[in-house]
Structure 1
Amino acid sequence: MNIFRTMELSASGLTAQRQRLNVIAENLANAQVTRTPEGGPYLRKNVILETQPLEDFGSLMASPAKVAVSDIVESREGLVQEYDPTHPDANQDGIVTWPNVNPVTAMVSLVLASRAFDANVAAFKAAKTMALKALDIGR
């Protein structure tokens, strides 16, 4: 595998982790939203990552695969219901449905995504340094 493939793989990881960070930040920002334009509380979003082969046939034989976001899905599981008849979004029984965003879990996911982003930056920088040193050999 050449150095530029390594950079391409790292760049795909950077893009995927950046998107993950954005979705986690959106989840945290909307953790207390009980009313959305679609109706009902905000639903936590999850990023689904998948591997994709590199474009040319030779790379298929070497089997490196870059990462990409295949989907961003909303989860209806874990919505919290609370009795509060004074809340403006309470139903006729006085139940308010809150988003299914757990701030602690979201912060852990945020740290993991941030570390994965940092690891991809380090891999990209290492490949760049190797490429520059290889160019220096010819001088």
Structure 2
Amino acid sequence: MDFSNTIDVSAAGMRAQAKRLQVAAENIANAETTGSTPGSDPYRRKTITFKEALNRTSGVSSVVIKGVGQDQSPFETRYDPSHPAANAQGQVKMPNVNMTVEIMDTHEAQHSYEANLNTMQLTRSMLTRTINLMK
């Protein structure tokens, strides 16, 4: 594997983790976003999936985003008869966002991003040393 392939793989990993962080941030920001009319659905948690992509020219595999979907787990309800989205029983559907899961996802995305960044910086350093040796 040459240096440019290493940098490309690290960059792909950084792009994937940045998108993962964006999805988790959207979920956290909307953790209390309910519907606005009686019985309407609240914000539905987003999910992200990745897949391996093979660059046929270089023979190197890297990660790409397969898609952003929605978590189909059921909504919890909260009793709040004064809420505009409350049904006849006073129940309001709440988003299916679990803050613990989202915070853990942000930490994992951050660590993965940093690992890819460190790999890229190390590769750049090795490339610079190689060029200096050739002078």
Please give the range of the TM-score, normalised by the shorter of the 2 chains: over 0.9
- How far the C-alpha of 1:76 sits from its partner, in A, is 2.2
Alignment map for 1:73-92 (pairs within 5 Å): 73-92=69-88
- Does residue 13 (structure 1) correspond to residue 13 (structure 2)? The answer is yes
CA distance, structure 2, for counterparts of residue 78 and residue 132 of structure 1: 53
Tell me which amino acid in the other structure corresponds to 1:110: T
Q: Provide the residue aligned with 2:31 in structure 1.
A: 31
Tell me which amino acid in the other structure corresponds to 1:30: N
CA distance, structure 1, for counterparts of residue 81 and residue 10 of structure 2: 51
Tell me which amino acid in the other structure corresponds to 2:49: I
Query: What TM-score comes out, normalization by structure 1 length?
Result: 0.90
CA distance, structure 2, for counterparts of residue 55 and residue 47 of structure 1: 25
- How far the C-alpha of 1:55 sits from its partner, in A, is 4.1
Query: What TM-score comes out, normalization by structure 2 length?
Result: 0.92
- Secondary structure of residue in 1 paired with 2:68: strand
Alignment map for 1:99-110 (pairs within 5 Å): 99-110=95-106
Mapped contact 2:20–2:48 kept (Cα < 8 A):
yes
Tell me which amino acid in the other structure corresponds to 1:9: V
- Secondary structure of residue in 1 paired with 2:122: helix
Give the aligned length.
132
Uncovered stretches (5+) of structure 1, i.e. residues with no partner? none
- Does residue 43 (structure 1) correspond to residue 44 (structure 2)? The answer is yes
Uncovered stretches (5+) of structure 2, i.e. residues with no partner? none
CA distance, structure 2, for counterparts of residue 55 and residue 78 of structure 1: 42
CA distance, structure 2, for counterparts of residue 3 and residue 50 of structure 1: 23
CA distance, structure 2, for counterparts of residue 83 and residue 70 of structure 1: 38
Mapped contact 2:35–2:93 kept (Cα < 8 A):
no
- How far the C-alpha of 1:105 sits from its partner, in A, is 1.4
CA distance, structure 2, for counterparts of residue 79 and residue 130 of structure 1: 51
Q: Name the Cα RMSD after superposition.
A: 1.3
* Deviation string, structure 1 residues 70-107 (Cα, Å, up to 9, x no partner): 10001120411122222111112221100011111111
CA distance, structure 2, for counterparts of residue 78 and residue 111 of structure 1: 25
Identity in percent: 30
- Does residue 66 (structure 1) correspond to residue 62 (structure 2)? The answer is yes
- How far the C-alpha of 1:30 sits from its partner, in A, is 0.3
